[in-house]
Structure 1
Amino acid sequence: MPRKKQSESEKLSEVIIEGILSKKGHDVVRLNLKELPNAVSNYFILCHGTSDVQVKAIADAIIDETLKDSGSKPWHKEGFDNAEWILLDYVDVVVHIFKEEARVFYNLEKLWADAEIKTFKDR
């Protein structure tokens, strides 16, 4: 049986996840929002770091990896000033990089619980 062709947003999500794992991001999940009505993108990717420095390093690694792999830059980015929650918006893929306490507080996994959720092992 032939393999289904990988979409551009799925490929981008995998490059982003590699960037996260390269900086030891924790509890990486990809929420597939494609089948949900009124979803703002195809995928949300969530992870957390244990310090401001790690959260910023994860975000920087994602930006570097996507630029190197496909020439993609985030359409919008915010949260670098306080590094509690950095958001990188690649339109079809939105990345949420939290400090652990903020991730627990906002609990996006519960908010989008009807999405298909895939988890990735920490390195």
Structure 2
Amino acid sequence: MEQISTLATRRKRTSVARLTRNSKIFKAIIHAIQEKKGSNIISIDLRKIPEAIADFIVVCEAGSTTQVKAIADFVDKHVREAAEEAPYHQEGHSGAQWVIVDYVNIVVHVMLPETRGFYKLEEMWSDAEAEEHK
């Protein structure tokens, strides 16, 4: 497990590295989720929150554990091809109720509806601007 100081160091961002919803990686993530029929896609803009760990969080739902894995795998594959970015870390593939694909400045959460309803990530970041992606 990484030490907290290492995580804090890796999470420090400069204004040069700040992303927007028009960034190549952001568009690639949304496209990949939509390609694999992810639903209820929401991006949360955390750039105005000083203690936030990323610039954006993207949350979506999948209808089964098989689809959770398929979406997470395709996000990884498509972002590597379209934006030439590899994830810093991935977690949750074994249970596949909630898979996280972490690109440092964008963290993707692919969840089953029950899991998403239980953890309510959007409510945790309710002071941030959220946008729905159809």
Instruction: Provide TM-score, normalisation by structure 1.
Output: 0.90
Query: Which amino acid in the other structure matches residue 90 of structure 1?
Result: Y
| Map of 2:103 onto structure 1 | 90
Query: Which amino acid in the other structure matches residue 114 of structure 1?
Result: D
| Map of 1:101 onto structure 2 | 114
Query: Which amino acid in the other structure matches residue 111 of structure 2?
Result: F
| Map of 1:118 onto structure 2 | 131
Separation in 2, partners of 1:70, 1:48:
23
| Map of 2:76 onto structure 1 | 63
What percent of counterpart residues are identical? 36
Separation in 2, partners of 1:22, 1:9:
21
Query: Which amino acid in the other structure matches residue 121 of structure 2?
Result: L
| Map of 2:61 onto structure 1 | 48
* Residue 33 of structure 1 pairs with residue 46 of structure 2: yes
Separation in 1, partners of 2:85, 2:39:
24
Query: Which amino acid in the other structure matches residue 126 of structure 2?
Result: A
Separation in 2, partners of 1:118, 1:39:
17
Separation in 1, partners of 2:78, 2:129:
25
1:9 Cα shift?
5.4
Separation in 1, partners of 2:20, 2:95:
28
Which structure 2 residue ranges, 5 or more long, are not aligned?
Answer: 1-17
Query: Which amino acid in the other structure matches residue 58 of structure 2?
Result: I
Residue 95 of structure 2: SS of its match in structure 1?
coil
* Residue 74 of structure 1 pairs with residue 93 of structure 2: no
1:92 Cα shift?
0.4
Give the CA RMSD over aligned residues: 1.1
Structure 1 ranges of 4+ moved more than 4 A? none
1:73-122 CA-partner distances (Å, limit 9, x unpaired): 1100000000010001100000000011000000000010111100011x
Residue 67 of structure 1: SS of its match in structure 2?
helix
> In the comparison of the two structures, how many residue pairs are matched?
115
